[in-house]
Amino acid sequence: MKTTIPLKPTINLASLMKTAANALDIVNQVRSNMFAPNSHKASPLFTSSRLAGLCGIEKSKMAYHLKKQTLPGGTKDGARLEFSLDDAQQWIKKFRADKLRDAKTSAGVVITVANFKGGVGKTSTAAVLAQGLNLRGHKVLIIDADAQGSISTMMGLDPTDVTEDQTLLPIFTGEKTSILDVLQTTYWSGVDIVAAGPALYNAEFILPSRQKTEKGFEFWKVLENSLVEALDIYDAIIIDSPPSLSYITINTLLAANGLVMPLPPNALDFASSAQFWNLFTELFEGLYKDQDAAKKYYFIDILLSRVDKADVVSAAVRNWIIAAYGGNVLPIEIPKTSIAATASAEFGTVYDLDPSSTKSSTLIRARDAYDLFVDYIEMQMIGIWSNDSISNKQGNLK
């Protein structure tokens, strides 16, 4: 018979503080080792074949321009020719000019990646979308609206070092009115960020307080109103929303032109998604009494994420999702692969990984799926611009 060991309540605040401090120390050590030798994240390099694919040209055409020296020539690494991110962007913008926004007439597109449930791939989807659109020639702003700061970490920042004036908090307090006043650059040129940190939690008390005390204040429009100037500068603004229904989340949903929901084919995740849309529509009805003047979206996309083809149950849930959301389900699936875990362990995405440092076939499989996803989103953006649906700040933003 086992002996029962009596337990006493010995874990006090001091113990918790010590545990918290130790956890932060370990995270910082991991970051330092990961981003050695200078503790800063480095942007990826691109092979000539990968760059040719991003440009949409044959390698023979690439060889012609390399010979003519009309574009950056890259750097030799043994037998391999590699291009920096900055060099790659010059090539991409030249050969994809017909797919880029006309900044004189069109405004950027705001896309919120949302799901009330954690662990569905929301943040990695937002990060990949931002990086992928930039690899197609677009200037991108990421807005981290989750106080946990996960996408800030993926973009090379330490949330514990992020100050209040680098987050959305000054926007929500009214201290700042333009998102341009709180953003910063990242290790990935062409992708800027409004970071997040623990201080952002304060917005959940500030917004309802302002709604109560300020006449005519509309808490749900604060973020949207702050984007006016940025929409002339950025082709895409990608918002990573919190995994909950909150005042901040409402702002992120109503600031968007389009929504993306990553959804694994899992029964609990599917059930949670149904609750998400029901709560969202109830909220919508409450905020917009005049439905003719209510918010309208250009697209709402359901992205099947973390799909395991070998899982019989997943296949059944996938059918439920398609039955529930119909044409909103993208014809693209993100496979569940070990490479995604590898990228996450390195505080990055599949676009950060060096093909020579991991199993190439697995990386290509995952990257190809995300490429198709980014291509689909870009196609929707181009459709909006071609229809002149969103004009610059001189016109009607929505």
How would residue 207 be classed by pLDDT, with cut points 50, 70 and 90?
very high
Whether the per-residue pLDDT at 364 is higher than 50: the answer is yes
Q: What confidence tens digit (pLDDT) does each residue in 213-270 have?
A: 999 999 999 999 999 999 999 999 999 999 988 999 999 999 999 999 999 999 999 9
Task: Retrieve residue 242's tokens.
Answer: 């919190």
Could you identify the residue written with the tokens 């321009």? 65
In CATH terms, the fold of domain 105-386 is Rossmann fold (3.40.50)
Integer distance in angstroms from the first to the last C-alpha of the chain? 71
What integer pLDDT is reported at residue 397 of this predicted model? 46
What integer pLDDT is reported at residue 187 of this predicted model? 96
Whether the per-residue pLDDT at 7 is higher than 80: the answer is no
Q: What confidence tens digit (pLDDT) does each residue in 83-103 have?
A: 999 999 999 999 999 999 999
**Maximum CA extent, the chain:** 84
The closest of 117, 206, 112, 199 to 163, measured between CA atoms, is: 199
**Cβ(107)–Cβ(391) under 8 Å?**
yes
Task: Retrieve residue 397's tokens.
Answer: 């933003």
How would residue 398 be classed by pLDDT, with cut points 50, 70 and 90?
very low
**What is the rounded CA–CA span in Å between residue 138 and residue 101?**
8
Query: For the chain, which residues make up each domain, given as ranges?
Result: 46-95, 105-386
Q: Global pTM?
A: 0.89
Report CA 64 to chain centroid distance, whole Å.
Answer: 36
